[in-house]
């Protein structure tokens, strides 16, 4: 899988990705990642990439032309399965979406900044508009990293133990059961007896019940789906 990220602040992405599992996956060649500075396609002597919004409003808008040039260049080099725009008004990013994206070949991610991007780029190029949550970030970079991390860890070999993926939070629509490790007794708090019993089938049942309880408590909305 290959992801090309278009950003006005490439240094920010470099530092965000500098220490993650994503970086190790790239080094192991399990996954390819390219960061592109939008300013490389900026207009004129000052490499302009943004301008004031028509109709008047606060903030600047990323211009269509630099984005279009960058997208044209990339699309001439290979075919893309998805062109994503990270935006708080997009569809909500979920584990389900991450599972689907982990099967794709080439993906472009466009990080907006300031007030967003010219709508015509969304109309002409973008295939998926994605939000990572109902809050507004300063730009799409942190959102892109969240997306990439969720995708990368599903690619075989990226994290050690693929079996544990199936049991994680947000699989089968339930949150994960609680975990304990040594010591067995700590500050008077004991590891639940069931986990020490060695009865694997019973432990599984217990975990499922705990998952359900935690989901009822923290995310009852997941049970309505």
Q: Looking at 25-33, 51-59, 130-138, 151-159, which segment touches ligand ADE (CB under 6 A)? A: 130-138
Question: Is residue 86 close enough to count as binding ligand ADE by CB under 6 A?
Answer: yes
Q: Looking at 74-82, 100-108, 134-142, 172-180, which segment touches ligand ADE (CB under 6 A)? A: 134-142
CA dihedral 163, 168, 174, 179 (to 10 degrees): 110
Q: Which of 44, 77, 135, 161 binds ligand ADE (CB under 6 A)?
A: 135
Q: Could you tell me how far CA 213 lies from the centroid of its own chain? A: 27
Q: CB neighbours of 173 closer than 8 A, spacing ≥ 6?
A: 215, 222, 223, 225
Q: How far is the CB of 67 from ligand ADE (least distance, A)?
A: 15
Q: Which of 29, 79, 136, 220 binds ligand ADE (CB under 6 A)?
A: 136
What burial class does residue 49 get, using C-beta atoms within 10 Å of its C-beta: 0-12 exposed, 13-18 middle, 19+ buried?
buried
Question: Is residue 143 close enough to count as binding ligand ADE by CB under 6 A?
Answer: yes
Question: Is residue 137 close enough to count as binding ligand ADE by CB under 6 A?
Answer: yes
138: left (phi over 0), alpha (psi -120 to 50) or beta: alpha
The HSE-up count of residue 39 (CA atoms within 13 Å, CB side) is 8
Question: Is residue 132 close enough to count as binding ligand ADE by CB under 6 A?
Answer: yes
Question: Is residue 133 close enough to count as binding ligand ADE by CB under 6 A?
Answer: yes
Residues contacting ligand ADE: total by CB under 6 A: 12
Is the N-terminal amide bond of 148 cis, ω within 30° of 0?
A: no
Residues 48-77, interacting with ligand ADE (CB under 6 A): none
Question: Is residue 140 close enough to count as binding ligand ADE by CB under 6 A?
Answer: yes
The pair of three-digit structure tokens given for residue 108, joined into one six-digit string? 């472009």
Question: Is residue 87 close enough to count as binding ligand ADE by CB under 6 A?
Answer: yes
Give CA angle at 117 (111, 120), nearest 5°.
125
Question: Is residue 88 close enough to count as binding ligand ADE by CB under 6 A?
Answer: yes
Using CB under 6 A as the criterion, which residues of the chain lie in contact with ligand ADE when the complex forms? 86-88, 112, 131-133, 135-137, 140, 143
């Amino acid at each position: 899988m290959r992801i090309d990220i278009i950003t006005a602040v490439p240094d920010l992405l470099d530092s965000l990705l500098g220490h993650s599992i994503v970086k190790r996956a790239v080094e192991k060649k399990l996954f390819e990642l390219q960061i592109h500075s939008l300013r490389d396609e900026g207009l004129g002597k000052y490499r302009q990439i943004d301008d004031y919004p028509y109709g008047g409003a606060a903030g600047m808008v990323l211009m269509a032309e630099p984005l279009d040039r960058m997208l044209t260049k990339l699309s001439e080099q290979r075919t893309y399965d998805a062109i994503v725009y990270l935006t708080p008004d997009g569809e909500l990013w979920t584990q389900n979406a991450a599972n689907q994206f982990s099967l794709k070949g080439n993906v472009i991610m466009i990080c907006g900044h300031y007030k967003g991007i010219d709508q015509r780029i969304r109309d002409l190029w973008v295939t998926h508009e994605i939000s990572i949550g109902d809050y507004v970030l300063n730009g799409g970079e942190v959102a892109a990293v969240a997306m990439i991390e969720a995708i990368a860890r599903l690619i075989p070999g990226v994290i050690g133990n693929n079996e544990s993926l199936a049991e994680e939070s947000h699989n089968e629509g339930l949150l994960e059961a609680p975990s304990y490790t040594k010591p067995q007794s700590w500050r008077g708090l004991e590891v639940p007896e069931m986990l020490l019993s060695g009865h694997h089938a019973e432990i599984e049942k217990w975990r499922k019940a705990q998952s359900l309880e935690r989901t009822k408590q923290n995310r009852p909305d997941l049970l309505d789906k």
